Chains A and B, each alone.
Chain A
Amino acid sequence: MTVTPMQILEAWLAVGFTLMIYSFLYKDNPLFKLGEYMYVGLTAGWGVCSAWFNVVWPDLIEPLSRVFKSYLGATLDKPLSHNENLLLLIPLILGILMLTRFSPKLGWLSRYTFAFILGTASGIAIPLTVSANLFKQMEPTLKPLFGKDISAWMTVNTLLILIGVVSVLIYFFFSLEHKGIIKKVARIGIFYMMVSFGAAFGYTVMARESLAIGRMTKLVKWAGQDYYYASIILLVVIAGLIALLEMLSKKSKPADDSTG
C-alpha cells in the first residue's frame, strides 16, 4: 500500500493531538492546553462556516435574493420554488434582532427572538413528548395478561413491565412522602431503574472500550515505517516535553517562594 504525503501529514497531526489530549491523564499541562485550544478553535470556526454555507446562505440569503430579483423583474435561471417567498424576511429579522445583544441599549429587542424560539420550541416539543414519551410507552404496556395466544412467559413479561412502569411512576410522585406502602413501591421503582442503569452502564462502557481500541489500533498502525514511526517519535517527544516542563516548573517554584 502506498501512503501519500498527505496521509503521512494527517497521521502525524492525528497522533500529535491524540497524545496531547491523552496527556491530560497525567495532569493539566501546556501541551493539553494547546490541543484543547486548537480543538475548540477549529470546531468553533468550522461551526460558523458550516452554519453560513449550509444554512444561512442556501436557506436564507440565496432564496431571498432570488425573490427580490424576481420582484425587480430580473430573469431567473429557474422558477421560484414554494419555499422562496417574502416569509423568509421573518427569520432574517429575528436573526438581526439577536445581533442587537451587542448593544446595551437595543439588547432588549433580542427577547422577541427568544420568545419566538421558546414558544415555537415548546409548541413542537410538548405534543411530541406526549406522543413519544407517553403514548408510545403506554401502548406496549396495555397488553392482555391472559388469552389463547398468550404463553405463561408472556404473562410474566407483561406483569413485570406493568409493575415496573407503575412503581417507577410512583417513585416520581412528588405529592406524597415516601412512607409506608408508597416507600415500598417506590423502592421497587428504584430497583427497576438501577437494573436499567446497570445495563446502560455496561453497554456504554463496552462502546467506549471499542472506541479506545479503535484509537489504539490507529496509533499502532501509525507507529509503522510507512508513517515514519509517527506514534513512537511523537510519544517520546511529548513525554519528553512534559517532563522538561515539569522540571522547569519545579525549579521555578522554590525561586518564587524565596522571592515571596
Chain B
Amino acid sequence: MMSYKLSVILTALIIILFLPALAHAQLTPPQEFRAFDTPNDDGKSLSLTWKVSLENDREGVYYVISAAASADGPWYQIDKTLSTIGYKSDFPQYFGFGDDNKLWHFYEASKIPDVMDPITSTAYFRLAVTDGTKTVEFPNMVSFAPQGNWFDKSKINILIFVIIFSSLILFFISLARRNPNLFIRHIPGLDAIEETIGRATEMGRPILYLNGLLDMSSLSTIASTSILGKVARKVANYDSQIKVPCYDPIVMSVCQEVVKEAYAEAGRPDAFKQDNIFFITNDQFAYAAAVDGLIVRHKPAANLYMGYYYAESLLIAETGAATGAMQIAGTDSITQLPFFITTCDYTLMGEELYAASAYLSREPLQLGSLKGQDISKAFIIFVLIIGTIVSTAESLFFIHLFKTF
C-alpha cells in the first residue's frame, strides 16, 4: 500500500516537473518573418527579423536561414544560428535603444554563397526552426532588394556635434575679426621658435623641420604644415635656411607650396630653394637613418619635430640632442611624447600642436577656431560632470547620446 502511494506521488511529481518541458519541446513556426533593406549601410546586405518565441528560444534549438537569388531556387542554407542569440537590441546602430527591440530576432544577410557576394539585387529567404529531430518552417518566403543609404543615421549625433561646434568656431572667427586681440595663454615651446630661428641665423646654420610620418589625411600633419608656413616666414625674414626632409611625397609637395608662399609673403621669393624641401623615403627606419645622417653632417642649429611620430622619434631626437641643437617637438602621438620630453628643449603636447599655428600667426581665422575649440572643451567638461551625475541616477540618456558605432 505504502509503495503504491509512493509510486503515485512520484509519478505526479515527474509529470508536474516535466510538463512545462514537454510543452516547451513543441516547436512553433517562426512568427512575423520579414526582410528589409539594412538601414545605414552601403546597400550590400539585407536584414531579416522575426518575433521572439517562448517555445522556440531555448538551448539546443536553432534557426536555419536559407536564401536564393530567385523565388524558384536553388536554395542555399546561409546560416544556422542559436535561438538564444541575435536580437534587434544587439544592433542599436540600426534600431536605436527601444525596449521592444528585445522582442525581435535579427539576422544580417550579406551573401548567398556561390551566388551573390555581397547581396546586391533581390534575394529570397526562408526561415525554419529546428531542434535536431524536428524542423518547422515559416510558411512563406520573404524577399527584398538592398539599397545603398546616402545617410548613416547612426552617426547623427556626430553630425549634430560637428554642426554645433562648427557654428561656435564660426562665431568666434567673426568675433576675432572684430577684436583680433583675443587672449591666448602663453605656450613656452612656441615662444622659443623665434629664439631658435635667431640662434640659427647667428650661427649660420640651417633649421631642420620634420612633418612626422603620416600623410596629408592626418590632422597632425595638416597642423604641422600650417606651423611650417609660419616658421618659414620667420626664416625668410631672418634670411636663414630651412631644410625639410619628407617621409611622404604628397606631404613634400604641400610643404614646397607652403614654404614658397611663406617666402613670397615675407617679400623674399628669390630666397626660396625648392631643393631644401625634399623626399627621402617612406620606410620608417631608413628615413630615421637618413635624418640622423643629415643632422650629424649639416649640424642644424635648431630641429623642429612637428607631427605624428612612431619608434623613430627617439633615434632622431637623441641624435639632434647629441649635436647640441636646440630642439622643439610637437606631437599628438602619446606613446612618443615621453621620448620628446626627455630629449627636446620644449615639447608641445597633443592639442598644443594644433594651437601652435594660431598662436604663431594671430590670424583671426585661427584665433577664432582656437577660441571655439575652448568653448567646446568647456561644454565637454560640463557634459562629463552632468552625465556622470545623471548616470548615477540610473539614466542612460547621456551614455546613449554619445554612443558611436
Bin the interface of chain A by size: 35 or more
Are A47 and B282 closer than 8 Å at their CB atoms?
yes
Residues of A with C-beta under 8 A to B374: 173-175
* Interface presence of A112 (CB below 8 A): no
Are B253 and A110 closer than 8 Å at their CB atoms?
yes
Question: Closest residue to A145 on the B side, CB-wise?
Answer: B392
Q: With a 10 A CB-CB cut-off, give which of B120, B337, B341, B404 has the most chain A CB atoms.
A: B404
* Interface presence of A169 (CB below 8 A): yes
Question: Closest residue to B250 on the A side, CB-wise?
Answer: A117
Stretch at the interface among A61-69, A70-78, A192-200, A227-235: A192-200
Q: Check A144/B388 contact, CB under 8 A, given A98-B253, A170-B381.
A: yes
Chain A proximity of B190: nearest CB distance (Å): 11
> What is the bound-complex CA distance between A32 and B222, given in angstroms?
33
* Interface presence of A218 (CB below 8 A): no
Q: A196-234: which residues lie under 8 A (CB-CB) from chain B?
A: 196-198, 200-201, 203-204, 208
From DSSP, what is the main secondary structure of chain A's interface residues?
helix
> What is the bound-complex CA distance between A43 and B359, given in angstroms?
38
Q: How many residues of B contact A (CB 8 A)?
A: 72
Residues of B with C-beta under 8 A to A111: 257
Q: With a 10 A CB-CB cut-off, give which of B184, B254, B281 has the most chain A CB atoms.
A: B281
Question: Closest residue to A165 on the B side, CB-wise?
Answer: B384
> What is the bound-complex CA distance between A43 and B290, given in angstroms?
12
Q: With a 10 A CB-CB cut-off, give which of B158, B371, B394 has the most chain A CB atoms.
A: B158
Q: Which of B286, B371, B384 contacts A142 (CB 8 A)?
A: B384
Are A32 and B257 closer than 8 Å at their CB atoms?
no
Stretch at the interface among A1-9, A127-135, A243-251: A127-135
Q: Check A134/B217 contact, CB under 8 A, given A40-B286, A175-B184, A176-B185.
A: no
For A26-51 the 0/1 string (1 means CB < 8 A from B) is: 01100011011001101110110000
Residues of A with C-beta under 8 A to B185: 173-178
Residues of B with C-beta under 8 A to A196: 334
Q: Which of A28, A35, A130, A204 contacts B297 (CB 8 A)?
A: A28
Residues of A with C-beta under 8 A to B352: 172
* Interface presence of B218 (CB below 8 A): yes
Question: Closest residue to B285 on the A side, CB-wise?
Answer: A39
Offer 13 A-B interface pairs, CB within 8 angstroms, sorted by A: A27-B296, A36-B286, A44-B281, A44-B282, A47-B281, A47-B283, A131-B158, A139-B403, A145-B392, A172-B350, A174-B187, A175-B185, A193-B349
